[in-house]
Amino acid sequence: MPLRSPSVLRPLVLLILLQFIGEALARLGGIPIPGPVIGLALLALAAGMVPRLFSEVEATADTILRHLSLLFVPAGVGVLQHLGLIRREALPIVAVLLLSTLLTLLATALTFAWLARDEDAPRGSDEP
């Protein structure tokens, strides 16, 4: 038996713990923000201040995030339960998905690029 538990599991326990601390703060404090997002903010603050914490969690976090796409599959397969409603309202659904997503991407990217260029001109050349 090794004295230290493998370093993949300890960070995972920490991530789950932070989610529940966030969950507790959201419920007890009546904050309309999901627990995991509060957990994200807490970890960003803590790992920003404590370099050892950052390096402890780093590898596990990167491994999970490399396969972030996978985690959306179970909820996405839920589309099968709503095929009736989706067929009935296919036109507004397709219209919103395409047009609203397009507009949101455009508005966000143009605002960011326009202001970043003004404020941050010397760094403009390092973008690939």
Partner 1 sequence: MSGAPAASFWVYLSTSPLFWLGLTLGAYVAADAASARTGRHPVANPVLITIALVGTVLLGTGTDYATYFAGAQFIHVLLGPATVALAIPIVRYRAEIRRNLVPLLAALMVGSTTGVLSAVVIAKAFGGSATLIASVAPKSVTAPIAMGVAREIGGLPELTAVLVIATGITGAVLVTPLMNLLRIRDWRARGFAVGLAAHGIGTARALQVNPVAGVFAALAMGLNGLVTAILAPIIARMI
Q: Applying CB under 8 A, which of residues 30, 75, 87, 121 lies at the interface with partner 1?
A: 75
Shortest distance, position 104 Cβ to partner 1, whole Å: 4
Determine if 82 is a binding residue for partner 1 (CB under 8 A): yes
Determine, following the binding rule CB under 8 A, whether residue 85 of this chain makes contact with partner 1: yes
Is residue 22 within 8 A of residue 38, CB to CB? The reply is: yes
Span 37-66, contacts to partner 1 by CB under 8 A? 37, 39-44, 47-48, 54, 57-58, 60-62, 64-66
- SS3 letters for 38-90? HHHHHHHHHHHHCHHHHHHHHHHHHHHHHCHHHHHHHHHHHHHHHHHHHHHCH
Q: What would the x/- binding string for partner 1 be over residues 13 to 32, using CB under 8 A?
A: --xx-xx--x---------x
